[in-house]
Structure 1
Amino acid sequence: MFMPNQGLKLTALSVAITASIACPFAFADQDAPAMEVMQVKGSVLGNSEIADLKTYAGNRSIITHDKMERTAVRSIDTALQQIPGIKIKDETGTGVLPNVSVRGLDSSRSGYAQFLMDGIPMTLAPYGHTGQSLFPATLFMIDRIDVARGGASVQYGPNNVGGVINLISKPISTDWETTLNEKMTFFGSGKNLYDTNLSTGGAVNDDFSMRFDANFTKGESFRDHSDTDVKNIMLKTVWNIDSNNSIDANFQYYDAFSELPGALNTQAYEDDRTQSLRPNDEFNADTKRITVKYSHTLDDSSLYDYGELELLTFGNKSSRNFQWDFYNKNKDTDGDLGSHWGDTTQTATDLRNSPREFTVFGIEPKANIYIDGDITQHIIAGIRYVNEDISYQLNETDNTTLVTTSPRDWHMDTNAMAYYISNELGFFDDKLTLTPGIRLEDVRMEFTNLGQGYSQDNHVTEWLPGITLGYEFSDSWFAYTNAQRSLRTPQISQLWPEGQTLESELAWNYEAGVRFTPTDTSSLTLAAYRIDFENKAEYDKDISLFVNIGETRNQGIELEGTYSPESLPDLSLTGAYNYLDTEQLEGEFAGNQLPYVSKHQLSASVLYSFDQVDLGLMAYYYSKSFADLANSVEENDAGTAGEIPDYTVVNFNISTEIFKQNDQGLKVGLSVNNLFDNEYYFRGLDVSPAGRVAAPGRSFSLDLTYNF
């Protein structure tokens, strides 16, 4: 029953939240006694721990560091293939440029996947450039990966149609610890990749702790023209000012270079799938990122039972550049006038590059309030401001005359305000939870075509409501349903030519599921989902422009389970299945499937330990898919269309600690990726869109880790 004083609490609380967001330091009192610590989540995703899954009102999976090690994953994107509903196109074999699709949403540069690092947007620009064409994360620095496919849009918008992928960096230990790691991957034919890693950190004193991580990746992948050089350096610090106040600060520098072997025409693929016919394709990028979070625990009050204020600031200064061969059919009178500009059967006439510069700043004050009572309330409210300054160029050099022109010279300035609030209401001792929430996005984009001398404004204002409902039937059974509206604003690459009126992409997401957790190490989840796009944007190759193709539908069923028998606690079995049905509901190809979508996905893993030896076996399967909106079965001459066959990959890992004394230890591991050397491919991507992109074959990795 609702208590009368709760109405007074909530009325007064709305004033308190407003005041605290406007002035986050107003309640600070360093001399006040510390309040009793309550286990209240400061965000929808909590701390992204396994324990958070049990009563989360949406479908969600967490890949632990141990599981990533023991399933022989090479990179963050390959690790994600264990999650039902996720598919990747591995164009490099190194994880430098991930192409991640969630629930059938386009995977090119992971433009529809909302990646976060410790809750902070990872993308170059959260509104105007959502593609991960610079991915400042490497596997060694990641402790676990949290994939929430539904129920998080109110707090983590925009671009979360498929959900949120939160990468959690390694924590700072209490005692000072240092880890040295070397991973050597052998692809054959003298192609080797080396990962050198250093991590050191711990408590400096009672109030301050830090962790320094450095990762260097250098060598070649499995194909010709695949030299890679990546440097990733990060410093994490935590300063506990007193029992009520703390500051977390992260600093990162990331620099990446990678040659891109690109796509192959059909004959070249069949002759030698490891060769490259794109000798000038390459990628350069660097970024400097900083995040500072101030947290203040509110003292006891009659208004609430627990309160916390947070002020988050984040920013990055980044650049990235692609270079690629370009075939201009208008310059080749002897060529095939019907061929594609990326067709590797033709000789390139030009060399293109596309440098982009980004300066992004964001600030987000947030309040987290908990009110106990017959009906508990957990209120999260915040405001976020993001400014994006993006420079976008396209340069083209004629291979014969060496004359360089600039077909595109664009700039976009974005000022985005987001306001959000949600309130998790708990009934019957929190067995039943109802969480309504709403987010308002107010985005102003000023697009300037410097080359052609015109500007145009794009103002997007959208209300994004969401609601989740969860019920805990017992300690083992939990059921949920949720609905949310999601937004993806037009990208800088889409707002042309003059007068172009591309609309924002809007979608309604629906989920319902049940989770069975009989023990801490065993669980089973069944979820049904549906995504209704109102005005999906797709690239029209005939007119070389992005257009809104209208309504589309993605719907499916996800099943995921983990079992560890009590009689064999060192054995863990995991299996997952995803059925995904997509359909274009409007336009020329209404009734067809969306491109690159596999209707069926299966994955399974077996982990077992005996006599201090850890064994891991993982396999995944994806069914066939199409490469174009027309769902063409036959491969065309350029290789831009045609059915993509199904494929299966099996990975194996064995590791053991060969030395252990006090705090020192040496661990060695051997893994085999694509154990049976299955050959499969994807269709061309981004700067090499015509032909087949060979997926990695079998490789062997030796992993040495020394802790002290």
Structure 2
Amino acid sequence: MTSRDKSLQLVAALRFSVLTYAMAYGVSAHAANEAIQLNTLSVQSSVIGTSEEKDVAKYPGNRTVLTQEQLKKTAATSIDGALQQVPGVKVQDESGTGVLPNVSVRGLSGSRSERAQFLMDGVPLTLAPYGHTGQSVFPATFNTLDRIDVVRGGAAVQYGPNNVGGVINLVTKPIPNKWETQISNRISAYEDSDNLMNNLYLRSGGWLSDDFGIQFSANTLNGDSYREHSDTDVTNFDIKTDWLISEDKELQAFIQRYDSDMEMSGALSPTAYDADRQQSQRLNDDYEATATRWHLKYLQDLDWGNSSQLEVLTFGHHDTRNFIWGFNTAGGHWADPAQPSTDIRNSPREFDVYGVEPKLSVSFGERDGLTHNLIVGARYVNENIDYRLRQANIATGNVTVPRDWNLKTDAVAAYISDELGLLDGRLKVTPGVRFESIHMNFEDRNSGATDSNQINEVLPGITTAYSLDNAWVVYANAQKSLRAPQIAQVRGAGKEEGEVSWNYELGARFTQGQSSFNAALFQVDYKDQLQWQSATQTFDNIGETRHQGVELAGRYATQNVPGLSLGLAYTYLDATSEAEGPNQGNELPYASKHQVSWDASYDFSGYLSTLSGYYYSDAYSDNANTAQEDTTGATGKIPSYMVWNFNVSKELYQQDSTTLSVDVSVNNLFDEEYYFRGVDTSPVGRYPGLGRSYNVTANLTF
């Protein structure tokens, strides 16, 4: 069956599901056309709510919501660029386009964002939530988003697995109340380069009646980034609908098609980096990906005498991806960019995922000064992963298939949490527990070998929040988290029961108007962490790592100085290996001890100007904490770096519902030269960070 046939099947399934839901609840064409108040259901069955800024003030954990205003004024041009402003988050940007973000939270591995739990509109975005958490297809583009919610603590019971670093929810633009069309185009140019990148975004939608809304969205990214061999072609289309079936029933639907084709510049040897950091020594490296994704969410308010809601979420996707890269077998490291490639490797993979999650939330009201808000849910996820590796010798053309694996996973999870309100609701205590039962069947199609694995894990958690007054909240939480064995680990010599951690937070938050302050202490005790050993082609259980520190964030805005807004955040991170051995007590790779981000905005007669930036201290690139860089650039300290951005926004025209605005930004204002160590298919050498770039964005809404 071709990918096109599978896509058509998914569209047909979506249509069938909509009709099935409508028939099941007796909805006639006449009933659907009756005028119903334009209002989505009000009861929330999620601990993170709708990921809006107002949800943060009383939340029992450390949390940051990047609003549309914040995303726009800080000159962010990609999702990973926006995340640089969040305390505890570090990003390695290997393309300058945001197509493949490598996101690390609190010192956890950032390679392919493998230890960050990404959601889109509350639905798992990860390729395979259990068997392949590496986000080597990232089917989200910056322009389609309304806001980004980064929850570092307190959400593990409801959102799992792989939530050690928390949950990052990407919220797409909502359907507007009245029909609205938006056309936005950004052109990016780069210092000392003729390359240009064009980002076009189209959106049109609204409520056709009092009970049905629909929105179409298209985002394309075309051109060349700041380095040689960086041609990029990305398309992202989606349709979302919202049907208020009746006053107490609602059905939301979403379908998306994402395609990416990109040349990858790769890492540079230290000598090449010093000569010209915009060149590429990895001219064989390319990347291709597709994603067809959908979800349906049915919500019903229940008349049980108190606020209660049933939610049934079904979701699925078919994703493909293929990395192509040069491979050297003639001596030295296979990825040394200074050495010519003798072979070409490629790793085509396919992912078919389906899930269903019913959830019930009930508010029992107040009795004897105590309130109960109960959430009970379950989830079933089925995954089918094809994991191949091919290698072709450049001189002879001979092709071998070192790996041809398949992993089928059936996972069942159940969870319950009960928010108890005491002292007139000022004290909220929420105990909860999640149970994961995961069954994996592995097949090596080359050898015919098979293996199976069963993981059962109980994951308790508790959150507390106490409102000192209307402005101050203190909070604490503790939760156990699980990362299931990955497809490459099931057949290895690693710990097949999965990786577990205990996460702790203690903090205080102040919120008054547009001003806020948050201080949080955190500790992550990560046990049974697995690490790949290329010499033996197995995974070693390196034991415990500990991630602890403090995150501070403040924002100041006052009516006394209209148009002025100041933001500042600082993170201290101590991430170390705790396992016995020669590396005990060493810092973990890529974990900067100090991180600072800032922004200052002022409205000069309608010109909203923002100066923003971020700083990361130096970090090691290996477990041994090797300080001196070797000749290939594979090891050695990664220097600290500081990046400044500047953005000016101006509304040129506004009348009735028509608005025309322009944004002009300079990213990396002072052209800071910085680098990471190699990433994934180019793991040796220096990976240059994005130099100075110039961006002009025109936005028309009518």
When normalised by structure 2's length, the TM-score is 0.93
Cα-Cα RMSD: 1.9
- Counterpart for residue 672 of structure 1: 666
SS at match of 1:156: coil
Aligned AA (2:428): T
- Counterpart for residue 4 of structure 1: none
Residue 191 of structure 1 and its aligned partner are, at CA, apart by 0.6
Counterpart Cα distance in 2 of 1:598 and 1:544: 29
SS at match of 1:241: strand
Counterpart Cα distance in 2 of 1:92 and 1:76: 13
2:288 to 284, 293, 303: 284
Q: How does 1:393-404 map to 2 (within 5 A)?
A: 393-404=388-399
Counterpart Cα distance in 2 of 1:39 and 1:96: 35
SS at match of 2:289: strand
**Tell me, which stretches of 5 or more residues in structure 1 are unaligned?**
1-23
1:77 to 76, 80, 91: 80
1:487 to 462, 474, 482: 482
Counterpart Cα distance in 2 of 1:633 and 1:541: 22
- Counterpart for residue 577 of structure 1: 570
1:472 to 467, 482, 486: 467
- Counterpart for residue 418 of structure 1: 413
Does the 8 Å contact 1:344/1:690 carry over to 2? Answer: yes
Counterpart Cα distance in 2 of 1:382 and 1:76: 30
Does the 8 Å contact 2:645/2:665 carry over to 1? Answer: yes
Residue 53 of structure 1 and its aligned partner are, at CA, apart by 0.7
Residue 299 of structure 1 and its aligned partner are, at CA, apart by 1.4
1:528 aligns with 2:528: no
Give CA-to-partner distance per residue, 1:270-316, whole Å, 9 cap, x none: 00000000111010000100100111110143xxx111001110000
Counterpart Cα distance in 1 of 2:634 and 2:111: 14
Give CA-to-partner distance per residue, 1:338-388, whole Å, 9 cap, x none: x21100121111000000001100000100110111211111111100000
Does the 8 Å contact 1:28/1:296 carry over to 2? Answer: no
1:109 aligns with 2:112: yes
Does the 8 Å contact 2:43/2:308 carry over to 1? Answer: no
Q: Which segments of structure 1 move beyond 4 Å, counting only runs of 4 or more?
A: 24-31, 34-40
- Counterpart for residue 347 of structure 1: 340
Counterpart Cα distance in 1 of 2:115 and 2:92: 14
1:433 aligns with 2:449: no
SS at match of 1:560: strand
Change (3 A) 1:345 1:293: same
- Comparing 565-574 with 625-634, which one deviates more in the overlay? 565-574
- Counterpart for residue 294 of structure 1: 298
Give CA-to-partner distance per residue, 1:92-132, whole Å, 9 cap, x none: 00000000000000000000000000000001110011011
What is the number of residues matched between the two proteins? 671
1:546 aligns with 2:539: yes
Aligned AA (1:307): S
Counterpart Cα distance in 1 of 2:315 and 2:26: 26
1:159 to 159, 162, 169: 162
Aligned AA (1:565): T
1:194 aligns with 2:188: no
Counterpart Cα distance in 1 of 2:129 and 2:258: 18
Counterpart Cα distance in 1 of 2:22 and 2:528: 43
- Counterpart for residue 445 of structure 2: 450
Counterpart Cα distance in 2 of 1:73 and 1:432: 38
Give CA-to-partner distance per residue, 1:387-435, whole Å, 9 cap, x none: 0000000000011110000000000000000000000000112100110
Aligned AA (1:319): T
- Counterpart for residue 86 of structure 1: 89
Residue 29 of structure 1 and its aligned partner are, at CA, apart by 9.4
Counterpart Cα distance in 1 of 2:106 and 2:410: 30
Identity %: 48
1:257 aligns with 2:261: yes
Does the 8 Å contact 1:38/1:306 carry over to 2? Answer: no
1:223 to 202, 208, 227: 227
Residue 37 of structure 1 and its aligned partner are, at CA, apart by 10
Give CA-to-partner distance per residue, 1:446-476, whole Å, 9 cap, x none: 1111111101011110000000011001001
- Counterpart for residue 176 of structure 2: 173
Give CA-to-partner distance per residue, 1:45-101, whole Å, 9 cap, x none: 001111111110000001011111111012001100101100000100000000000
Change (3 A) 1:314 1:38: closer
Counterpart Cα distance in 1 of 2:498 and 2:323: 26
- Counterpart for residue 313 of structure 1: 314
Does the 8 Å contact 1:342/1:690 carry over to 2? Answer: yes
When normalised by structure 1's length, the TM-score is 0.93
Does the 8 Å contact 1:538/1:547 carry over to 2? Answer: yes
1:406 aligns with 2:410: no
Aligned AA (1:543): T
1:392 aligns with 2:387: yes
Does the 8 Å contact 2:61/2:507 carry over to 1? Answer: yes
Aligned AA (1:685): V
SS at match of 2:158: helix
Change (3 A) 1:669 1:500: closer
1:47 aligns with 2:50: yes
Aligned AA (2:335): G
Does the 8 Å contact 1:40/1:370 carry over to 2? Answer: no
- Counterpart for residue 378 of structure 1: 373
Residue 566 of structure 1 and its aligned partner are, at CA, apart by 2.7
Aligned AA (1:271): A
Residue 26 of structure 1 and its aligned partner are, at CA, apart by 14
Aligned AA (1:707): T
- Counterpart for residue 12 of structure 1: none
Give CA-to-partner distance per residue, 1:165-204, whole Å, 9 cap, x none: 0001001101000000110000142111000110000011
Change (3 A) 1:507 1:501: closer
Does the 8 Å contact 2:183/2:699 carry over to 1? Answer: yes
- Counterpart for residue 624 of structure 1: 618
Aligned AA (1:263): A
Counterpart Cα distance in 2 of 1:287 and 1:656: 36
Does the 8 Å contact 2:495/2:530 carry over to 1? Answer: no
Aligned AA (1:314): F
1:634 aligns with 2:634: no
Aligned AA (2:97): T
Counterpart Cα distance in 1 of 2:59 and 2:195: 44
Counterpart Cα distance in 1 of 2:85 and 2:226: 22
Does the 8 Å contact 2:41/2:248 carry over to 1? Answer: no
1:240 aligns with 2:244: yes
SS at match of 1:703: strand
1:662 aligns with 2:663: no
Counterpart Cα distance in 1 of 2:141 and 2:337: 32
- Counterpart for residue 358 of structure 1: 351
Aligned AA (2:327): F
Aligned AA (1:546): F
Does the 8 Å contact 2:41/2:250 carry over to 1? Answer: no
Counterpart Cα distance in 1 of 2:514 and 2:653: 28
Change (3 A) 1:422 1:376: same
Counterpart Cα distance in 2 of 1:512 and 1:354: 43
Residue 545 of structure 1 and its aligned partner are, at CA, apart by 2.9
Aligned AA (1:660): Q
Aligned AA (1:401): T
Counterpart Cα distance in 1 of 2:451 and 2:582: 29
Does the 8 Å contact 1:58/1:150 carry over to 2? Answer: yes
SS at match of 2:260: strand
SS at match of 2:50: coil
1:516 aligns with 2:520: no
Residue 503 of structure 1 and its aligned partner are, at CA, apart by 3.8
Does the 8 Å contact 1:350/1:396 carry over to 2? Answer: yes
Counterpart Cα distance in 2 of 1:39 and 1:295: 10
